[in-house]
Amino acid sequence: MSKIFITGSTDGLGLMAAQLLVEQGHKVVLHARNDRRAADARATLPAMEAIVVGDLASIAATKRLAEQVNALGTFDAVIHNAGVGYREPRIVTEDGLEHIFAINVLAPYILTALITRPERLIYLSSGMHRGGDPGFQDLQWEHRPWNGAQAYSDSKLFDTVLSAAIARRWPGVFANAVEPGWVPTKMGGAGAPGDMAQAPITQVWLATNNEPAARVSGKYFYHKKLRETHPAVNDIHVQDQLLAQCEALSGVPMP
């Protein structure tokens, strides 16, 4: 039996992964953005171990969330599932950051740095990461015309880069990225063609399975199969620059 924390797990793929893990007998801690969503999750999955609350759009709230998680003890795996999509206008957070970057990139960076190191880390990416721009000239979209799809693609590229960077820096941890497919979640939209039943399987497998294929690091999976990534993912200079940018923005160094 493993103990797993999943961000963004009150609905969608996060909740589906949590339900699978509970069915398999694992202890699961959920994450909600606010108390209302936490109450809904408790009603939906009463067999969960616990739920923590925090808005990942806020640096301070994300730091407090890490404290809540650490107060529950050490975890075997953390699934960084939380994310927002590309159908929104440019939104600026309370910290002056672009909303998609803040939630999709900076929040998992902060949580990775501050949560007591688990054995396994899984980061949710997307096939759209292959269209991402690995440049760092205008991360917050302050000077470019807004393009939500590009901002989302960039964020998923940076999530995959973060996964690879952690795999390189922390050799004792299995850190991997997962492409769940374009599926009809709230983010994916009703017309998405992917198989919802398959979408949470790989992250659950990576979080708990002990077969050699699951105990790897620095890989990118789609339906439990390895896939190629954007060339920037394994560029050490891109990895180091992302970590430096996130540290500068958050004030949190990566151990």
- DSSP per residue, 15-45: HHHHHHHHHTT-EEEEEESSHHHHHHHHHH-
CA distances from 32 to 42, 179, 182 (A): 10, 22, 23
- State yes or no: is 156 an active-site residue: yes
Task: Note the Cα 218 to chain centre separation in Å.
Answer: 15
Q: In what order do the strands lie in the sheet with 225-226?
A: 50-53, 27-32, 3-6, 77-80, 120-124, 174-178, 220-222, 225-226
Beta strands in 100-146 (DSSP E): 120-124
Write down the catalytic residue from 123, 156, 219, 220: 156
Write down the catalytic residue from 109, 123, 152, 220: 152
Contact 43, 35 (CB under 8 A): no
Residues involved in catalysis: 152, 156
